[in-house]
Structure 1
Amino acid sequence: MLLSISLMFIIGMFLGFICKKIKLPSLIGLLLTGMILGPHILNLIDDSILGISSELRKIALIIILTRAGLGLDLSGLKKIGRPALLMCFVPASCELIGMMILAPRLLGLSLLEAAILGAVLAAVSPAVVVPRMVKLMDEGYGVDKGIPQLILAGASVDDVYVIVLFTTFLGMIQGQGVFVMSFVNIPVSIVLGIAIGLVTGYILSLYFEKIHIRDTTKVLIILCISFILVVTEDSLNTPITFSALIAIMFIGIGLKKKREIVAIRLSKKYEKLWVAAEVLLFVLVGAAINIEYIGKVGPVAVLLIIGALVFRMFGVFICLLGTKMSKKERLFVMLAYTPKATVQAAIGGIPLSAGLACGDTVLTVAVLAIVITAPLGAFAIDRTYKRFLDKK
């Protein structure tokens, strides 16, 4: 295990550095590291690490979402209003509709199979998008019009919406029928997540005001609470649940609202944690990619992914109608809302493990979507934000 961890960090940071030198996102080097070291090529990552890969990736997501919450300025988000709400579900819904139109024609899938494939692909990747929006907020790009805040909020809720749809469609194809409560749970879980996060952040702010402890200890306390929230959400079997990831981000927001000085200091601590967490997250995502699957559907799958992304970008365009954003700013939001990685790596293999006829196709297209959109989306954000957005 120790050798595997060493290789993941050394090679990952080296390839990430090389990518930065040639003006590419370091994410590409990290994904390549995972693919090379993973079980499908050199098989140098210990099985014990791969066995807890999903948990390790979740820890990395927790770190960056808390960092985002600690730095998020809600005043910019309030200026946008309606578009912020629409971004949570309209782009994903448009991509899902596009997939249900295109997949039966291009891949010969049934309408329900196409819906499952669309639900797997429709989630934007917080792992790619969130750290970049945090960087934009730190540098002041697009902040006045709330652009990074808009994308941050949308990306966090988008995943909850899509995963509920995926679970519903999977139940339908397995003969379990449609559960109305699944759809009711979407807004309820979001609202509960926000409420739990804000209350927790407020309580922590009072505790940190009364009890003087080191900032490192505060970070550990917040991390432990975040882990408990995730485990609690996973263990709930009730029709109504809450979104732990949204709650985690709003812990940071609640803490900043009450104790901004503490939030700024903790944000710097989380920024240092993210240096290691980023490597771990994307190397493990890369390790989950099986290149062999890609050759099975080839150009048709690429055409399908591009077509679905066009529908998604159209959905973003609809959300931004009536805003004061310029054409360049709207184009930036459309590009920033395309990367896929985390959710696709997490649920792409579920239809195959469930024994569905479309399982192999779903996994193949999910893998291809990660390979295409994660690096290209990251590249598009990194190369355009200084030209398309105004600096505060």
Structure 2
Amino acid sequence: MLTSLSLVFLLGMLLSWAFQKIRLPGLLGMLLTGMILGPYALNMLDGSILGISADLRQIALIIILTRAGLSLDIQDLKKVGRPAVLMCFVPACFEIIGMILLAPRLLGISILDAAIMGAVVGAVSPAVIVPKMLNLMEKGYGVKKSIPQLILAGASVDDVFVIVMFTAFTGLAQGGTFSPASILSIPVSIGTGIVAGGLAGVLLALFFRKVHIRDSAKVVILLSISFLMIELENRLKGYVPFSGLLAVMSIGIALQKKRYEAAARLSVKYSKLWVAAEVLLFVLVGATVDISYAMKAGAAAVILIFGVLIFRMAGVFFCLLGTDINRKERLFCMIAYMPKATVQAAISGVPLAMGLGCGKIVLTVAVLAILITAPLGAFGVEQTYKRLLKAE
């Protein structure tokens, strides 16, 4: 395991640096590292690491979402208002509709299979988007109109919506019925996650005010509470809808609101943790990519991915109608809301494991979506933000 971890970090950081030198996103190098070292190529990663890969990726996601919460001012989102809510589900709905319209014609699958595929591909990747938006907030680009904050918050809730839709569609494919309760669970899971995380954040702020401990110890406590929130989601599954990742982000937001100075220092600590967590996350995502599936998909699957991206962009454009966000800024939002990686890596293999007929093609299209949109979105953000956004 130690040898595998060494390869993950050393080769991942090396290729990330190399890609940055040729003006490409570093995460592309990390994804490539995972594909090279993973079970579908050189198979140099220890089985024990691959066995806990999902847990390690989740820890990395917790770190970046906590950092986002510690940096996100809720007042900025209140200024944005309606678009912040719409961005949580409208672009994903547009993409699922696009998949239902295009996939049966291009791939010859049923409408229900296309809906399942749309739910898998429709999720945006907070692991790609959140670090980029935090970087823009630190540099002051688009901050006056709360554009990075808008994208950051939308990306965090978008996943909750898409995963609930995925569960509903796969239930139908297994012979179940579509229940209105599954749709109702979306706002309930969002609400319970925000309330539980907010309460935990307030209690932590009170504790940190009363008890003086080192910031490093605070990071350990905060991480532990975040892990418990994720475990709480697993325990409540089937009883009460609950979003653990939203709870994690809400802890950071509440802590920042109640103890701003402490939150600022903790954000710096988390940014240092992210240096290692980022490499681990994207290398392990890359290790899930089966290149042979991607090669078999052909041009039709590539055309499909670009086709549904147009639907997603139209959804983002719709969300921003009637706002003071100008055309250039809208174009930036449309580009920034493209990347896919973490959710697709987590759920793309589920239909195949369930024995659904669409399992293999869903996995193939999801793999291609990661390979195309993660680098494309990250590169697009890096190359356009100075041209399309105003610096404060």
TM class by shorter chain equals over 0.9
**Residue number in structure 1 paired with 2:193:** 193
Match of 2:88 in 1: 88
The 3-state SS of whatever aligns with 1:238 is coil
In 1, Cα distance between the equivalents of 2:351 and 2:326? Answer: 41
CA distance in 1, matches of 2:2, 2:161: 38
Map of 1:116 onto structure 2: 116
CA distance in 2, matches of 1:27, 1:237: 32
- In the other structure, the counterpart of 2:129 is 129
Corresponding letter in the other structure for 1:57: R
Q: Does 1:168 align with 2:163?
A: no
1:272 counterpart residue number: 272
> TM-score w.r.t. structure 2 length?
0.99
1:107-150, CA deviations, whole angstroms, 9 ceiling, x for partnerless residues?
A: 11111000000000000001100111111111111111010110
CA distances 1:176-218 after superposition (whole Å, capped 9, x unpaired): 2122221111001101111111111111000000000000000
The answer as to whether partners of 1:181 and 1:239 remain within 8 angstroms in 2 is no
Query: Distance in 1 between the 2:7 and 2:355 partners?
Result: 35
Distance 2:255 2:14 in 1: 36
Q: Check conservation: 2:329, 2:389, Cα contact below 8 A.
A: yes
- Conserved? CA contact 2:112–2:169, under 8 Å: yes
Which residue identity lines up with residue 218 of structure 2 in the other structure? K
CA distance in 2, matches of 1:221, 1:134: 23
Secondary structure (helix, strand or coil) at the match of 2:213 reads: coil
Report the alpha carbon displacement of residue 232 of structure 1 after superposing the two structures with TM: 1.2
Contact 1:98 1:311 in 2 (8 A): yes
Structure-to-structure mapping, 1:11-50, within 5 angstroms: 11-50=11-50
Confirm or deny: 8 A CA contact 1:69 1:249 kept in the other structure. yes
Q: Would you say how many aligned residue pairs link Structure 1 and Structure 2?
A: 392
Name structure 2 gaps, 5 residues minimum: none
Task: Name the CA distance, whole Å, in 2 between partners of 1:391 and 1:295.
Answer: 42
Per-residue deviation, 1:3:
0.4
Residue 386 of structure 1 and its aligned partner are, at CA, apart by: 1.4
Deviations 1:207-239 (A, max 9, x none): 000000000000000100110110110122334
Residue 57 of structure 1 is matched in structure 2 by 57
Q: Distance in 2 between matches of 1:391 and 1:234?
A: 42
What is the distance in 2 between the residues matched to 1:318 and 1:160? 21
CA deviations over 1:281-311 (Å, ceiling 9, x no partner): 0000000000000122210000000110000
Aligned twin of 2:336: 336
Amino acid at match of 1:275: V
1:329, CA displacement in angstroms? 0.4
Q: Is the 8 A contact 1:201 1:254 kept in 2?
A: yes
Alpha-carbon deviation of 1:75? 2.1
Distance 2:348 2:306 in 1: 18
CA contact (8 A) 1:126 1:156 kept: yes
Aligned CA RMSD, in angstroms, stands at 0.7
Q: What CA distance in whole angstroms lies between the structure 1 residues aligned with 2:235 and 2:168?
A: 18
Distance 1:241 1:166 in 2: 15
Q: What residue number does 1:237 align with?
A: 237
Q: Output the amino acid matched with 2:206.
A: L
Kept in 2, the 8 Å contact 1:182–1:239? The answer is no
Deviates more, 1:311-320 or 1:74-83: 74-83
- C-alpha separation between the residues in 1 aligned to 2:237 and 2:216? 34
Q: Is 1:76 aligned to 2:87, yes or no? A: no
Partner of 2:178: 178
* CA distance in 1: counterparts of 2:385 and 2:292, whole angstroms: 35
Query: How far apart, CA to CA, are the structure 1 residues paired with 2:319 and 2:337?
Result: 12
Question: What does residue range 250-269 of structure 1 map to in structure 2 within 5 Å?
Answer: 250-269=250-269
Q: Aligned AA for 1:96? A: I
Letter in 1 for 2:258: K
Unaligned runs of 5+ in 1: none
Query: Percent identical across equivalent pairs?
Result: 64
| Secondary structure at 1:284 match in 2 | helix
Counterparts in 2 of 1:170 and 1:51: CA distance versus 1, 3 Å: same
User: Are the counterparts in 1 of residues 236 and 242 from structure 2 also a CA contact under 8 Å?
Assistant: no
Q: Using the alignment, how far apart are the partners of 1:152 and 1:179 within structure 2?
A: 30
Which residue of structure 1 lines up, in the alignment, with residue 281 of structure 2? 281
Which runs of 4 or more aligned residues in structure 1 lie more than 6 Å from their structure 2 counterparts after TM superposition?
none
